[in-house]
Amino acid sequence: MNLKGVISISGRPGLFKVVGQGKNNIIVEALNDNKRIPAYATDRISALEDISIYTYEEDVPLKEVYIKFREKVADEQVLSHKESLSKLESFLEEVLPDYDKERVYPSDIKKLFQWYNLLHKAGLTAPVEETATEASQEEE
């Protein structure tokens, strides 16, 4: 699973992929409809590879949570984010039993499922084999 270049912009629905850079902005493409829009420095942008889920021990990166989702559902979509909160919480508890129930809010859980389904539709949940060049770059 490759989350590199996938971002969320606060106040805008969906997920975006960074495709270019302008003078005072970055150009992003929506994953669901492939429309390109500018994102400015005033926008609150979060890279998915920097997001993690609170647990009682240490935080778990979003990528690892999504890999566990993929193992559980066998390359299908997960529950819709519009399902009842109890169903979403029970699924998350099966996948990540020690997530911090006090610090992970219901809105975060819904976003977690919505984002996974968007990534799945865009074909970004497939496992990616790490190439030798990527491995050597990470070691440096």
Sheet bearing 25-30, strands edge to edge: 36-40, 25-30, 16-21, 6-9, 45-47
pTM of the model: 0.85
What digits encode the pLDDT tens for the residues 68-116?
A: 999 998 878 888 899 999 999 999 999 999 999 999 999 999 999 999 9
Same domain assignment for residues 115 and 57 = yes
Same domain assignment for residues 74 and 100 = yes
Q: What percent of the chain has pLDDT over 90?
A: 70
Task: Please state the φ and ψ torsions of residue 56, each to the nearest 5 degrees.
Answer: -75, -25
Same domain assignment for residues 20 and 41 = yes
Residue 135: per-residue pLDDT: 47
Q: How far is residue 100's CA from residue 89's CA, in Å, rounded to a whole number?
A: 11
Residue reference for tokens 């809010």: 105
Q: Whole domain around residue 69: which residue ranges? A: 51-121
From the centroid of its chain, how far is CA 14? 10
Same domain assignment for residues 23 and 44 = yes
The answer to whether residue 133 is domain-embedded is no
Same domain assignment for residues 57 and 109 = yes
Instruction: Give the CATH number for residue 101.
Output: 1.10.10.1650
Count of structural domains, the chain: 2
Same domain assignment for residues 20 and 71 = no
Instruction: Give the CATH number for residue 16.
Output: 2.30.30.730
Helices of type H across 2-127: 62-73, 85-95, 106-121
